[in-house]
Structures are given as structure tokens and as C-alpha cells.
């Protein structure tokens, strides 16, 4: 177990021997007013940070990053803008230990430490689990926290979570920022950010954007827009209220990529759209309202409470490749349409206390969460006229001619009501300047009731009357031990657990057989090191072991069904982030993962397979160099090793190296220009897949020109 740590430490030393000397600095006392969400409340500078960010909002406590027994990555709004990131997938490609999924062309999907998910997304610490593409226009930063940790976030998050932190109105000043960008595919984006200082106690802010979508693929287009007004009210020096509303509208083509042939992506068809230009499409309209109140109870205690209501209306329809026979030059098509409506009400309360007992310092987190989620979902299969079936095999040609197709009656028509509640407590115990313990427990109750209208109509002769339900109660621990030889270096051990109810992350997996099964369980064991080389440069390394029991995976022989499996992922991550010197900024990450199923027996022999969509090696590097006051340059690369497209282990995506670059020019104090180029060496690559015959193709060389104006 300790050998990878030795390797990790050796690599750490090799990377850092030529770095700047460690700058010792005394830790400032932490004022618990830092718990407030707004930048208006002054935050005492704390060591353990880089880029001026002392701690992650998702941690719920003002814990300096060097004291967190967990791997995490912080991506600022500045980095999002300068690298031209347009999606969560763009961010994850530059995050160690994480890889992107195709998401069937209509949603964010990711794999962190071997755990694939469509629902482990949060916004300002609250669950954001509907399947859609999340925009980045209104963010302060994105926090990627790796390792199972139900204590802070509840169910799910077996490999980690992504938390988006949104902008709020500031009473400090009035400003407006306008941004525009145009790419060589013909897509463009416009956005604005206006903050209005009303008085010393009130402020209003509104962010908005519009984007016209386009890329290298045939028949691909779309548009999306969103608006997010926020209001801040200081009632007094100890109490603050933040109100927020967001509306998101996304309408785009659904593109599920290309099929495979002979165990690899079909060659020569990177631009071909294997779907219907008329039928393939996805729409979502989302409304999210939030109110958060922060209050300083005393010198040692502060509390905050958040109430969020959200309403989502999602629809998508797709025709896609189900198989390709290269010898016969035939293509098998399949398809369906799916509609989901969901309403969420979530209330969250946190109390944080910082106090001493004798010579021991405590940072105590006590919290509770309650939520109700109502979902309705229905699905219709495709029905091809010529085959009178949901699939059809046709001669392949270009352009692709889609046969006449309609859709069946409902093959799924269900509604679910979920009620969840939890209480949790955690104590960060500073025994001395060198030793810190973190211990906590969370109790969750998850209650789901499902009405399956098709089963109700069929009667109960098959022992299923269509009324299903299950209640799960789980206790999730978190334990961590930190040793700090000095203020800037920490070594840690961590054990954390999480669970996922049998209904799955989208509440669609509950059936007569699965309602009797226990939840999936995740356990993360981690050992790591963090080093603040300077107050602007940090290095982290971690070795981990993630085990999943009672897990589910798509059946390779029938993707509409699931298998019950166990999995084990071991690996290590390295990340160097910050400023090498005043001019040179760097973000480098490396991860190695060994992810396999466990307990599979074939013909009386153990025959475990490698998990799909988990590259064993990933390396990313981004450099930004400030040449002078006007000019700056960026250069980066992504290396991703080969990966299987599914648990079937018969189709493999080849490894690839993509190189990106950027040029920045400050025209004046108010105007900045930037020029981003992606894939400058024209690498042909396949970044992600959904299964063996839905494979995403990487974009050829493309450029994006942007301008930003602030006044």
C-alpha cells in the first residue's frame, strides 16, 4: 500500500527541486465571518491557498486547502475564460483522475476515479442532478472534489463531485463586462456581467449569455441562452441575504458520434452524422430560485441556511448507430425519444463553530438537509416502417439516408417522488501545530415511491402492480489524519464512504427485483501530500483505492439492461498549480488509474474486465506566460491513453496527444483581446464514448477569437 506513496513522493521531489524556496508565513487567525457567500464580507488571508482562494465553498468550513485530507482541483473564472472552456467537459479534460463521457450527446457525463455518473453535480453546494449541459457564464469557479464523501454531499459521489460556485452581487463597486467570441466553425458567444452598487448594504448583479453552437460534425447546430440576476442585502454587519434566479434554455442537435469496426472507431467518418438531421434534437428549460441567509451568531459561531426551488423540463429524441458491419458495409440504426420533468425543493442548514478546549482547537460543522424531488419520465421506442421494428439494417453510404421512422406507444411511463433528509456532524481537531484529525458522521434517509403506469395498466398477475418503493437509511463516516512538519506541507490519510440507492442517480432503475436490493456502496482510501511551495504555487499528490459494492453497469450485450457488479480502482494523482515566477503560470496534472470489475467468474475462473471509459494514464499541462504589460501567451497539451468504450472490452479508443495554444493582448485598460487555437497539430482523436458504437470524434484544428470590454 505504501509503495505508490514512495513513488509519488519521489516524483514530487523530482518536480520540485528547482522550484522557489518555501516561504514561511504565520497563519492568520480565521474569522468565522468568512463563511458568508459574498465577496463583500472581508476574508482574512489564510495560508494554504493559491490564486488568493483560501478554501473551497463545497467544504462548508473555512479550512485552508493544505489542511484538507482529500484531493481537489479549483478552476477559476479567469482560467475558464483564458483557456476558452465552454463546458464541464472542457474543464474535466484538464483535471487529473477525471475523464469525460459522451453523455449520448445531450448531457454532462463524467468518470472520476473509475466511477461513471450523470448526477454528481452541485451548484453552490446544492444538488443539481438533472441531465443537461451546464453553462459556465456565471461562475466564480468550479471545484472538483475527488474521493467518495457522502458526509458533505449525501448520496452518490462515489468517485467525486463537481461543484459550481456562482457569482453574487457585490456592494463594493459598479461595473460592467461585455464578452464576445467567434470560432472558425461559425459558432459564436455573447455574454455580459453587470454589477450595480446600490448602497453600502444593497447590490444587484445580472449575468447573461447567448451562444450559437456549431462544430466539425455534419448537421450539428443549436443555440442556448441563460440569465442569472442576483441581489445582496446586508441587514447588519453580521447578517446577509443573497437572492438568485436563473433561467437556462438549451436547444441543440443530439449527436451520438460514430460506430466501431474491428474493435476500433470506424475510420474515415469523423465528420459523418449517424442520425437524422430532422429528428435528433434536445431541449431543456430550467428555472432555479435560491435564497441564502448567513448570520454571525457570536465570535465563535456562524450559521447559514439555503432554500432552493428548481424546475426542469427536458426532452430529447435520437436516431443512432447500433452496429456496423464493415464486410457487408451495412449499418444498424436504433432510436427512441425521452421526456423528463422534475421539480426539486432543497433546504440546507450549516452551523460552524471555532473554539478551543484546553490546548486543542476545534472547527465543528453541524448540518442538516431536506429535499423533495418529483420526477416524471416517459420513453417511446423508434419504429422503422420498413422493418416494423425499433431497429433497421441499411446499406451504408454517404450521405446517410435515414429510412422512414415513427415512434411507438410508451415503453416507459413512470413518476417518482423522492424525499431525503440528513443530519451530519464533523470536527476538525487541531491537536498541535503538527497533528490534525478530521472525523465525522452523516445519517441519510432516502425514501422513493414510484408509479409505473404501464405496469398498473397490465394488472398485478405478474406480481407487479406498478406501485414500487423503498426506504434506505445509511450512516456515512469520514476519517482523516494530517501531519504537518511545517505550515506549508501536509501528509494525510483518509477514509470516506458514500452510497447510491438502488433507484440509480436518475431514479429510473427501481423494479420489482431491484427494490429488494441494498444500495450501492463506495469506499475511498487515500494517502497524500500537499505542499505550498510558495504563496503562489502548490503541489499535491495522492494514492487512492476506491471500492464499489453492489454496483451497476450497462450490460454490453444489451445496453437497455444493467449488470450487478463490484469494482476496484487504484491509482495516483499529481498536480502542480500556480506561478513559477511573476510571469509564468502553470497548471500540470498527471493521473494513473487501474480500474477493474471484481468478483466475475466465467467457467469457474476469475475473469474480471477493465472498466470502460477509464484511460489508465492522463497528463495535462497548461502554461501562461506574461511577456509584458500587453502581451501574454498560452500553451497546453492533453495526453490520454487508450481506453475501452465499455465493459465488453472489445472496442478500444486509441491514445492521443492534443496541443492547444493562445495569445492574449491588452489593447487598453478596458479592452482585452484573445486568440485560442485548439489541436494545432491536427491530431485525429476520440476523446469519449457512450458504448461500443457511440464514439465521439475530436475536433480538427480550430480557432476562436474573443474580445472583452469592461467599464
Transcribe 43-85 into DSSP letters.
Answer: ----SS-BTTB-S-GGGSS---GGG-SS-EEEEEHHHHHHTT-
Distance CA 526, CA 199 (A): 48
Identify the pLDDT of residue 290: 98
Distance CA 16, CA 12 (A): 6
Phi/psi at 178 (nearest 5 deg)? -115, 135
Look at the block and give the residue holding cell 445580472: 206
Q: With 0-12 CB in 10 A as exposed, 13-18 as middle and 19+ as buried, what is 52?
A: exposed
Look at the block and give the residue holding cell 487555437: 677
Distance CA 37, CA 26 (A): 25
> What's the Cα-to-Cα distance from 633 to each of 453, 562, 663, rounded to whole Å?
58, 48, 5
Identify the pLDDT of residue 461: 85
Domains of the chain: 3-710 (2.40.170.20)
3-state SS, 253-291, equals CCCCCECEECCEECCCCCCCCCCCCCCCEEEEEEEEEEE
Q: Is 13 left (phi over 0), alpha (psi -120 to 50) or beta?
A: alpha
Contact 242, 307 (CB under 8 A): no
Q: Is 649 left (phi over 0), alpha (psi -120 to 50) or beta?
A: left
C-alpha cell at 267: 475510420
Closest CA to 435 of 480, 494, 483, 487: 483
CA 667 to chain centre: 35
Identify the pLDDT of residue 517: 84
Contact 247, 287 (CB under 8 A): yes
All residues at 6 or more sequence positions from 69 whose CB lies less than 8 Å from its CB, including other chains: 438, 480, 481, 482, 492, 493, 494, 526, 528
Identify the pLDDT of residue 373: 97
Q: 3 by DSSP, 3-state: which?
A: helix
* pLDDT under 50: residue ranges of the chain: 1-53
- The reported pTM is 0.90
Half-sphere exposure in the Cβ direction for 684 (13 Å, CA): 7
Distance CA 557, CA 646 (A): 10
Identify the pLDDT of residue 294: 97
C-alpha cell at 531: 505542499
DSSP 3-state helix, strand, coil percentages of the chain (rounded to 5)? 5, 60, 35
Identify the pLDDT of residue 59: 92
Q: 680 by DSSP, 3-state: which?
A: coil
Closest CA to 519 of 497, 499, 539, 494: 499
Amino acid at each position: 500500500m505504501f509503495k505508490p506513496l514512495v513513488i509519488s513522493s519521489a516524483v514530487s521531489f523530482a518536480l520540485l527541486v528547482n522550484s522557489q524556496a518555501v516561504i514561511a508565513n504565520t497563519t492568520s487567525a480565521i474569522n468565522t465571518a468568512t463563511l458568508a457567500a459574498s465577496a463583500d464580507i472581508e476574508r482574512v488571508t489564510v495560508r494554504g491557498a493559491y490564486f488568493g482562494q483560501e478554501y473551497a465553498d463545497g467544504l462548508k468550513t473555512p479550512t485552508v486547502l493544505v489542511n484538507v485530507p482529500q484531493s481537489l482541483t479549483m478552476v477559476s473564472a479567469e482560467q475558464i475564460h483564458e483557456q476558452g472552456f465552454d463546458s464541464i467537459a472542457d474543464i474535466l479534460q484538464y483535471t487529473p483522475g477525471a475523464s469525460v463521457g459522451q453523455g449520448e450527446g445531450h448531457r454532462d457525463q463524467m468518470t472520476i476515479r473509475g466511477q461513471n455518473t450523470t448526477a454528481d453535480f452541485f451548484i453552490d453546494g446544492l444538488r443539481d442532478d438533472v441531465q443537461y449541459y451546464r453553462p459556465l457564464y456565471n461562475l466564480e469557479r468550479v471545484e472538483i472534489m475527488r474521493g467518495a464523501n457522502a458526509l458533505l454531499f449525501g448520496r452518490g459521489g462515489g468517485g467525486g463531485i463537481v461543484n459550481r460556485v456562482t457569482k453574487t452581487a457585490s456592494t463594493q463597486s459598479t461595473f460592467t463586462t461585455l464578452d464576445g467570441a467567434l470560432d472558425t466553425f461559425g459558432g459564436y458567444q455573447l455574454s455580459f456581467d453587470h454589477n450595480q452598487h446600490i448602497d453600502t448594504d444593497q447590490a444587484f448583479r445580472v449575468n447573461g449569455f447567448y451562444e450559437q453552437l456549431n462544430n466539425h460534425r455534419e448537421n450539428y447546430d443549436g443555440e442556448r441562452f441563460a440569465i442569472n440576476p442576483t441581489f445582496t442585502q446586508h441587514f447588519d454587519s453580521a447578517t446577509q441575504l443573497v437572492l438568485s434566479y436563473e433561467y437556462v434554455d438549451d436547444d441543440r442537435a443530439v449527436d451520438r458520434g460514430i460506430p466501431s469496426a474491428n474493435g476500433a472507431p470506424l475510420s474515415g467518418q469523423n465528420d459523418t452524422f449517424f442520425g437524422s438531421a430532422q429528428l435528433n434534437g434536445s431541449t431543456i428549460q430550467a428555472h432555479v430560485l435560491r435564497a441564502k441567509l448567513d448570520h454571525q451568531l457570536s465570535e465563535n459561531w456562524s450559521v447559514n441556511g439555503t432554500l432552493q426551488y428548481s424546475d426542469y423540463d427536458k426532452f430529447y429524441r435520437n436516431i443512432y448507430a447500433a452496429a456496423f458491419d464493415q464486410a457487408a458495409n451495412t449499418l444498424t440504426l436504433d432510436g427512441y425519444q425521452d421526456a423528463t420533468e422534475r421539480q426539486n425543493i432543497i433546504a440546507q442548514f450549516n452551523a460552524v463553530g471555532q473554539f478551543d478546549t484546553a490546548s486543542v482547537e476545534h472547527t465543528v460543522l453541524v448540518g442538516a438537509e431536506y429535499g423533495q424531488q418529483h420526477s416524471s419520465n416517459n420513453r417511446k421506442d423508434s419504429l422503422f416502417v420498413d422493418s416494423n421494428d425499433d431497429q433497421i439494417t441499411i446499406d451504408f453510404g454517404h450521405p446517410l439516408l435515414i429510412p422512414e421512422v415513427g415512434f411507438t406507444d410508451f415503453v416507459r411511463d413512470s413518476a417518482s417522488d423522492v424525499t431525503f433528509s440528513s443530519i451530519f456532524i464533523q470536527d476538525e481537531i487541531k491537536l498541535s501545530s503538527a497533528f490534525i484529525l478530521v472525523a465525522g458522521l452523516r445519517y441519510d434517509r432516502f425514501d422513493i415511491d414510484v408509479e409505473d403506469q404501464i405496469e398498473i395498466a397490465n394488472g398485478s398477475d405478474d406480481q407487479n402492480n406498478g406501485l414500487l418503493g423503498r426506504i434506505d437509511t445509511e450512516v456515512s463516516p469520514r476519517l482523516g489524519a494530517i501531519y504537518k512538519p511545517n505550515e506549508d506541507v501536509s501528509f494525510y490519510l483518509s477514509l470516506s464512504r458514500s452510497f447510491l440507492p438502488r433507484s440509480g442517480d436518475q431514479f429510473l432503475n427501481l423494479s420489482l427485483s431491484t427494490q429488494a436490493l441494498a444500495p450501492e456502496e463506495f469506499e475511498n482510501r487515500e494517502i497524500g501530500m500537499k505542499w505550498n511551495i510558495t504563496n503562489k504555487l502548490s503541489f499535491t499528490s495522492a494514492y487512492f483505492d476506491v471500492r464499489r459494492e453492489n454496483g451497476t453497469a450497462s450490460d454490453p450485450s444489451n445496453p437497455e439492461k444493467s449488470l450487478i457488479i463490484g469494482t476496484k480502482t487504484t491509482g495516483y494523482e499529481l498536480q502542480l498549480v500556480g506561478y513559477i515566477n511573476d510571469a509564468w503560470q502553470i497548471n500540470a496534472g498527471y493521473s494513473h488509474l487501474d480500474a477493474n470489475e471484481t468478483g466475475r467468474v466465467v467457467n469457474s475462473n476469475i475473469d474480471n474486465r477493465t472498466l470502460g471509459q477509464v484511460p489508465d494514464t492522463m497528463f495535462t499541462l497548461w502554461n501562461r506566460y506574461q511577456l509584458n504589460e500587453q502581451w501574454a501567451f498560452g500553451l497546453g497539451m492533453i495526453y490520454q491513453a487508450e481506453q475501452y468504450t465499455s465493459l465488453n472490452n472489445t472496442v478500444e479508443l486509441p491514445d492521443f496527444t492534443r496541443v492547444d495554444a493562445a495569445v492574449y493582448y491588452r489593447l487598453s485598460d478596458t479592452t482585452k483581446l484573445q486568440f485560442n487555437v485548439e489541436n494545432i497539430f491536427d491530431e485525429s482523436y476520440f476523446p469519449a464514448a457512450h458504448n461500443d458504437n457511440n464514439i465521439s470524434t475530436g475536433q480538427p484544428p480550430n480557432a476562436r477569437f474573443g474580445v472583452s470590454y469592461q467599464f
